[in-house]
Amino acid sequence: MQSQYLNLKTFRKDGRPVATPMWFVETGEGSLLMQTWAGSAKVKRVRNQEKVEVAPSDARGKESGPARSGRCRVHAPDSEWGRRADRLLSQRYGWKRKLVNLLLWLMKRRDKVYLEVQFL
């Protein structure tokens, strides 16, 4: 995907989608990696249901391409996937990512996790 953002649609227990624009990086192996706060609602929804949809978007979530279905898993920051995601996201987003991580740290959102989306 050429976009800087993608819309990650996770699903509530009743099936309603919740879209969140996110930074992402492609692994080159058919999956995407993203970072989020461990206490976020999207992590809770992913743990309840792995099914997600992703579509290229702008920073506000306006989709600019077709959506693709996938399966999402949560990885700890000290896992192999977590270390890889951290490195790849830093390479792609550089100083912007450092700034966002600083803001999250100041907001006391220090428990990050990584999401891996594998396409179906």
CA–CA gap between residue 54 and residue 92 (Å, rounded) = 19
Give the end-to-end CA distance of the chain in Å, rounded to a whole number: 16
pLDDT at 1: 64
pLDDT digits (tens, 9 = 90+) for 32-72: 999 999 999 999 999 999 999 999 999 999 999 999 999 99
Q: Kindly indicate the confidence band of residue 73, based on its pLDDT and cuts at 50, 70 and 90.
A: very high
CB atoms inside a 10 Å sphere around CB 79: 14
pLDDT at 101: 83
- Please list the residues that pair with 75 across neighbouring strands: 114
Domains recognised in the chain with CATH numbers: 5-119 (2.30.110.10)
